[in-house]
Structure 1
Amino acid sequence: MTGIVTEPVGESGRYRVGVDVGGTKIEAVLVDGGTAIRASHRVPARRGGDNVVEDVVGLVRTVAGESVDRLAGVGIGTPGQVDSTAGTVSHVVNLDIDTLALGPEVSARLGGVPVRVENDVNAAALGAAQLVPGAKGTGAVVMVNFGTGLAAGIIVDGVLQHGFSGAAGEIGHIPLDPNRFDCPCGQRGCLETVCSGASVQRLWPVDGPAMPDLIAQAHAGRADAVRVLGIVSHAMGDALQIVAQTVDPRVIIIGGGMAKTGEPLIEVMSEELYRRERECPFLQGLHVADRLRLAPMDQPIGALGAALVI
């Protein structure tokens, strides 16, 4: 569904808008009192803080129609360093944003509608948990986001976990990889340097998505592809094992751009986990591979999750 909501937003303010800010597009959805999406719209992302604020406000007005002032609130999922309490975001390199009071500025332009800003991976985790079978309910669920970077969104009993400093789930900057590649964060050997979407593209440079081609070439027996896939899958196994042994979620959702690879990606991850299980009875009992689920890549999980942070 695209465009303006086809029924008025009730006086009770049960509708919410979720906005997913990405490096190439910004998408908004109107969500009713449950989790049903009643309208959606997207625009290409423009660089610069003023443009981002303008686009977010425009999208909210598009999907909410004439009833913006009766919204329960607006949630925004964005990359970068997010201070949800203040509603600010910093260091969004892809959009040329150093520091931006995104929440306060959007709220002011919408006449004071409550706005909450959340990390994009956390927002996507909330959205995916609504749509992936077995992910709703009590207990822990984690989405591991293999996107431009690597991070995890952790949900316990339906509540996002941020930690003391907001760094909960930042598994991409755990320096475990033996290749010891330099990481922009200042460390060497971060998992993100070998199993994020950007790093796989660097390790296996091809036109188009790298992971599907890497898997296909490795399965065809190409020696350099087998070597690179071994590096990538080992780091993926580390990431999944960290999540399984620290949070012990009943479901591990695989998201991010690399999830578009589909079942072949799950197969690669599972093979790595099974290999580890053969050497470790402790891991055999965890059945980590059985917990893996693909995020629904045809759904606006980031925008849906952003609406749910309100």
Structure 2
Amino acid sequence: MLAIGIDLGGTKIEAALVAQTGQVLATVRRPTPTESVSAVVKVLADCVRHLQKQAPAPVEGIGLGTPGQVDSTAGIVRRATNLGWENVPLHALLTAELGGNLPLFIQRDSAAELLAERYFGAGRDCANLVYLNLGTGLGGAALVDGHLVVGHTFTASEIGHIVLDPHGRPCSCGLRGCAETLVSGTGFVAHTRQLLAAGQHATSLAEPFTSGMVLRAAEMGDELATAVVSDTAAWLAQLVAAYAIILNPQRVVIGGGFGRAAFHLLIPRVQADLPHLVLASNHAELEIVPSQLDSSALGAAGLVWQGQKNLLETLFKESAK
């Protein structure tokens, strides 16, 4: 079985022709148009047609991961700040552009990344799974008993905007001290600057620096960098603890560029903190593992198989009535 997965980003569109084994047969990348929604839709359709021509067998469907708040039932992008979109009927527009000849499934990009890990990566064969993307920002998604959690208004697992410090730095969402301002590559650098300005820790660091430079300094035993890692791990532990007690996952996968780079420094501290944050029954069997993949397009293809699974379950329930 073949599917086309598309990762719609603020600056680029990446699409992949994927077999159900996880093998990527072909890829295509295009810049994301900025002039209009219709221009984006045309590029998405061109990517699909390009991959269809290369497919050795019929394509079963299209999965599309997009940033922002997504009504996956109606196929509407309610809000995507980095695209400048509000209430865009993306499913209807792309289906019309393609002639309606393929099933189309649309979901948040973090959910697509979760499904990539579920089908092909660190979450393989795991029905209760949490995925956290620690990149420039912070994204999250969860699978409970094999079902993607979307929530009443399709904002479930927007973990980046839970407030950890009410008096903290302003967030782009309008709140202060959101997890995204603390547990992300951007937040990590900002916290380093804050501690550097306070002058309470010895350090070899000086502006300008990147998250990678701070991580390397922590590996060398730099006092300030070690304090930044410790604080970041404590905040991340609070997020993992919240997931552990509410959803009781088997596994938490840490992805994103910053998450993968900092995993070896953050996670031992997170695991040390968890016994002080949740009951043993919630964390004793919890695994925290690094992402094995770096492709939202691969996960978007998983939306097709997840969607077909949900459809079959619905039909089975209806026939049993």
**TM-score, normalised by the number of residues in structure 2:** 0.79
> Structure 2 unaligned runs (5+)?
194-206, 305-321
1:194 aligns with 2:182: yes
Q: CA deviation at 1:104?
A: 1.3
- Give the distance between the partners of 2:54 and 2:119, measured in 1 at CA: 28
Question: Pairwise mapping of residues 70-81 of structure 1 onto structure 2 (< 5 A)?
Answer: 71-81=59-69
Counterpart for residue 286 of structure 1: 283
**Alignment counterpart, residue 118 of structure 2, candidates 116, 121, 129:** 129
Counterpart for residue 304 of structure 1: 298
Counterpart for residue 26 of structure 1: 13
**Higher-helix-fraction structure:** 2
Counterpart for residue 11 of structure 1: none
Amino acid at match of 1:250: Q
Amino acid at match of 1:268: L
1:272-301 CA distance string (max 9 Å, x none): 331453x5794597247x61111124x42x
Question: Pairwise mapping of residues 270-281 of structure 1 onto structure 2 (< 5 A)?
Answer: 270-277=268-275
> Structure 1 unaligned runs (5+)?
1-13
Q: CA deviation at 1:195?
A: 0.8
Amino acid at match of 2:110: V
Q: CA deviation at 1:143?
A: 0.7
Amino acid at match of 2:26: A
* Pairwise CA RMSD: 2.8
1:65 aligns with 2:53: yes
Amino acid at match of 1:270: P
Q: CA deviation at 1:167?
A: 2.0
- Worse-superposed segment, 190-199 or 68-77: 68-77
Percent identity of paired positions between Structure 1 and Structure 2: 30
Amino acid at match of 2:302: L
**Alignment counterpart, residue 106 of structure 2, candidates 99, 117, 122:** 117
Q: CA deviation at 1:69?
A: 12
- Give the distance between the partners of 1:73 and 1:281, measured in 2 at CA: 41
The structure-2 alpha-carbon separation of the partners of 1:69 and 1:287, relative to structure 1 and needing over 3 Å to count, comes to: closer
Counterpart for residue 240 of structure 1: 240
Q: CA deviation at 1:200?
A: 2.2
CA contact (8 A) 1:69 1:110 kept: no
Q: CA deviation at 1:178?
A: 6.2
1:172-193 CA distance string (max 9 Å, x none): 2221236522223232222121
1:7-28 CA distance string (max 9 Å, x none): xxxxxxx432110112232111
1:252 aligns with 2:248: no
1:71-120 CA distance string (max 9 Å, x none): 32211100011111221214323233344222211111111132221000
- Give the distance between the partners of 2:141 and 2:274, measured in 1 at CA: 24
**TM-score, normalised by the number of residues in structure 1:** 0.82
